[in-house]
Amino acid sequence: MKHPTRPLADRLEVEAPSLAAGAVRVLSWAPEPVRRRVLQSAFDRARDAFNRGDLLVVFALFAEDVEYGPPPPLHDGGLIHGRSQVFDFWRDVRDRFDDNSIENLMLREAHPGSFVRTARLHHRSSATNETLDYTIVQTTELRAGRVVRQINLLEATAD
């Protein structure tokens, strides 16, 4: 299905994920400053897609067998396994909260294929008046251009 507000790069990830994953693999050989710029752009595009509710873009490059640790304020169970289960989890969150947003605070490459992002999330339900605001540290691991593991932990706060 065409999504009229998707930027070209987002459409490529959704409509040709194997091609996009190949581009990610090639990028791993690029010099660090180039990787950093492209990485920042990719996470900014994921933020924008999440904020407009376009989950297909957010999870387009997740591996079918991805291991996913949801943000603790939203999930008290263990890891979720599989792209479709991750998609279903976030679709349920979007059904529960009518206002959802993410703000990227920090992003760094731990090493090629592994990234750490700090982000602030906001969820609010006008039906129940429930609001969640929290900051996560998210670790993402890639293999063959696909996200194979992503873990979200609450940011530690100083007492």
pLDDT digits (tens, 9 = 90+) for 10-20: 888 889 888 88
Q: What band does 1 get if pLDDT is binned at 50, 70 and 90?
A: very low
pLDDT > 70 fraction of the chain, expressed in percent and rounded: 96
Q: CA 50 to CA 71: how far, in whole Å?
A: 15
Residue by residue, DSSP assigns the chain as ---TT--HHHHHHHH-HHHHHHHHHHHTTS-HHHHHHHHHHHHHHHHHHHHTT-HHHHTTTEEEEEEEE--GGG--S--EESHHHHHHHHHHHHHH-SEEEEEEEEEEEEETTEEEEEEEEEEE-TTT--EEEEEEEEEEEEETTEEEEEEEEEPP---
Q: CA 15 to CA 135: how far, in whole Å?
A: 31
Domain boundaries, the chain: 8-154
pLDDT digits (tens, 9 = 90+) for 86-108: 999 999 999 999 999 999 999 99
The more confident residue out of 42 and 118 is 118
Q: What band does 157 get if pLDDT is binned at 50, 70 and 90?
A: low
pTM equals 0.89
Query: Token match 């700090």: residue?
Result: 118
Per the prediction, the chain carries an average pLDDT of: 91
The region, left, alpha or beta by phi > 0 then psi within -120 to 50, assigned to residue 117 is: beta
Asked if 82 and 149 count as a contact pair (C-beta separation under 8 A), the reply is: no
pLDDT digits (tens, 9 = 90+) for 35-53: 888 888 889 999 999 999 9
What is 8-154's CATH topology? Nuclear Transport Factor 2; Chain: A, (3.10.450)
pLDDT at 120: 98
pLDDT at 33: 83
